[in-house]
Structure 1
Amino acid sequence: MYTLTGVTKNYTRGKETVEALRGVDLTIEDGDQLVIQGPTGGGKSTLLQMIGGLDRPSSGSVELDGVDLASISEARLTRVRAEKIGIIFQSFNLIPTLTAQENVETALVPLGVKPSERRAKAAEALGSVGLGDRLTHAPSELSGGQQQRVAIARALVKNPKVLLADEPTGNLDEGTRDDIMALLEGLWREHGLTFVMVTHDSSIARRAPRLATIRKGRITLTEQQQQPRPQPQPAL
């Protein structure tokens, strides 16, 4: 479970101080699906970075299972990210010189997984997102939707507790967007993930059980349609 208390984040631009987050309080239960929406510059990506341990707040606490990501050492924070948090980006962030399988394997290297086991787990993860026949393809040989599926497999191969997605459909056409969202929602249910996503797309935001709207660094929560909480399943 996440508990964010009084989270602020300030950036300095020249002589100006920008308040990206202003005293955010937020609880995210295990197995929740939460969408964060808001205008450009409103603080939504900054909030996701706090949740993912990619940045630290200027003040306040970001607790995951009772561990404050804002105050632990950098080494421990890196370990928490490697073990518990999978992240998907709008730009895919694949390494162009590696195959799909090798890109997925990169998520397992910090965990000390043996090469043979890495290869097997990566192949299984790619199969779970419909790319079992694309293991040896480079990113340049894949469509945008296929590249995002590789990125999803990379995020899930380590069996994380939390899946974070920053505009995961922003570079995709409408049809591919719907396919990727169906895949993500299916994986959320299947694996019992805590799923937090940033999107500017209102049609996607309306599908989530919980919506956090953030404007000028302040958050408003809306409970939307009720969906059954997923039950955790065995690892990939």
Structure 2
Amino acid sequence: MYQLNGVTKSYRRGKTSVDALRGIDLSIADGDQVVIQGPTGGGKSTLLQMLGGLDRPTSGVIDFDGTDLAKLSEARLTRVRSENIGFIFQSFNLIPTLTAQENVETALVPLGVKPAERRTRAAAALESVGLGERLTHLPSELSGGQQQRVAIARALVKEPKVLLADEPTGNLDESTRDDIMALLEGLWRDRGLTFILVTHDSTIAKRAPRLATIRKGTLTVRESTRK
């Protein structure tokens, strides 16, 4: 699935250069679940953006199923993201004037899916996250946990190979956090997804089969002892 070799990302800050990632090497197989944990500013979200093709490294290789994402044209990179990668963010990123079903449908528009099929697939995706009776509700009519479920449905409706989640429970209380994590882990198992999640929450990190810790742009990986 993923093979990262020597991935470095540097930014200019005034007259100085800041390394967000420093020579990252990482292998992620099909169907893996990996949690990336670290302090704010440590590079974890930057790494996730590289895996999702949302940003390019300064140097190094990001091999995704045999293709180096760093070398793709913008058009091809956009296509890879649209077809293969689902994103979930802390802020939900729902369009406030669209219903839950319409928000989910937006993920299928770039793929050229016809309207009738979009509606059917969006409804099924919402049903799979427990919102089958909330299709016509606007985001403002939903709780935070329900809004994140809509965002999860939107990420899954295109049937991606990879699910990337950046602090998906950061805006939720502990009870809702646990519900969302149980949902995500169930979807990972049932659908055979490759699931990569960024968090600062140690409670979530302890649940992971593989934990990657990133500090000052340097990554260490360990296998969990959780059974």
TM-score (norm 2): 0.99
Secondary structure class of the residue paired with 1:70: helix
Query: Are the aligned partners of 1:123 and 1:135 in contact in 2 as well (CA < 8 Å)?
Result: yes
Structure 2 partner of 1:23:
23
Q: In structure 2, what is the equivalent of residue 74 of structure 1? A: 74
Equivalent position amino acid for 1:73 in 2: S
Q: Deviations over 1:108-158 (max 9, x none)?
A: 000000000000000000000000010010101100000000000000000
TM-aligned CA deviation for residue 225 of structure 1: 3.0
How big is the alpha-carbon RMSD for the aligned residues of Structure 1 and Structure 2?
0.7
Distance in 1, Cα, partners of 2:79 & 2:113? 14
Cα distance in 2 between the residues matched to 1:143 and 1:149: 10
- Aligned equivalent of 1:218: 218
Q: How does 1:104-143 map to 2 (within 5 A)?
A: 104-143=104-143
Structure 1 segment 134-153 matched on structure 2, within 5 A:
134-153=134-153
Within 2, Cα distance between the matches of 1:94 and 1:60? 34
Q: Tell me the number of residue pairs that the alignment of Structure 1 and Structure 2 aligns.
A: 227
Structure-1 residue corresponding to 2:162? 162
Q: Secondary structure at the match of 2:98?
A: coil
Alignment partners' CA distance in 1, 2:164 and 2:18: 25
Partner amino acid, structure 2, of 1:27: S
After TM superposition, give the deviation of residue 17 of structure 1 in Å: 1.1
Shift of 1:16: 1.9
Deviation, 1:226, is: 5.9
Residues 208 and 224 in structure 2, CA contact (< 8 A), matched pair in contact too: yes
* Percent sequence identity over aligned pairs: 80
Q: Secondary structure at the match of 1:110?
A: helix
Instruction: Tell me the distance in 2 between the aligned counterparts of 1:174 and 1:40.
Output: 20
2:11–2:19 contact (8 Å) kept in structure 1: yes
Distance, in Å, in 2 between the alignment partners of 1:54 and 1:112 is 21
Correspondence for 2:197 = 197
CA–CA distance in structure 2, aligned partners of residues 226 and 160 of structure 1: 27
Unaligned runs of 5+ in 1: 228-236
TM, length-normalised to structure 1: 0.95
Unaligned runs of 5+ in 2: none
CA positional deviation for 1:61: 0.9
Q: Following the alignment from structure 2 to structure 1, what is the Cα–Cα distance between the partners of residues 181 and 152? A: 11
- Cα distance in 1 for partners of 2:63, 2:206 equals 27
User: 1:189 & 1:16 partners in 2: Cα distance?
Assistant: 44
- The one-letter code matched in structure 2 to 1:106 is T
